[in-house]
Amino acid sequence: EAGVVQSPRYKIIEKKQPVAFWCNPISGHNTLYWYRQNLGQGPELLIRYENEEAVDDSQLPKDRFSAERLKGVDSTLKIQPAELGDSAVYLCASSLVRGGNNSPLHFGNGTRLTVT
């Protein structure tokens, strides 16, 4: 089966510019996650979707970050405007059911964002 697909792989932008990341989860996976990973740290959850519903966005900085998953399949994460501190790897993951005890998350290759 095809894995989680993310694009772009790398993105370099100047601060205050907008940026968007795209994710296509594994077919049939209802749950989709966006994580941010800073260098040398574990991933930090930004938002989780069950189908098209955002069920946990408590960690999403809503003043500049937004996300959507309109048809319950692929998803877009946007930052506007970007700040220097947003430089990180943005990982998308999906799982068959609500991620948990016996439903591992499957990750994409990530988008490495550099804000200059």
Alpha carbon distance 116, 101 (integer Å): 40
Q: Considering the complex, what minimum distance in angstroms separates the CB of residue 44 from other proteins?
A: 8
Structure tokens given for 59? 């960690």
Stretch that binds other proteins, among 14-22, 69-77, 79-87, 99-107 (CB under 8 A): 99-107
Residues 6+ apart with CB under 8 A from 35: 43, 44, 45, 46, 90, 91, 92, 93, 107
Stretch that binds other proteins, among 20-28, 62-70, 73-81, 106-114 (CB under 8 A): 106-114
Using alpha carbons, list the distances in angstroms from residue 95 to 15, 46, 53, 89, 106. 33, 16, 15, 20, 6
Query: 115 in helix, strand or coil?
Result: strand
Residues within window 10-29 making contact with other proteins, judged by CB under 8 A: none
Q: Considering the complex, what minimum distance in angstroms separates the CB of residue 43 from other proteins?
A: 6
**Among 19, 23, 43, 47, interactor with other proteins by CB under 8 A:** 43
Nearer to other proteins by C-beta: 79 or 88?
88
Residues that bind other proteins (CB under 8 A): 40-43, 45, 48, 56, 89, 91, 93, 98-102, 104-110, 112
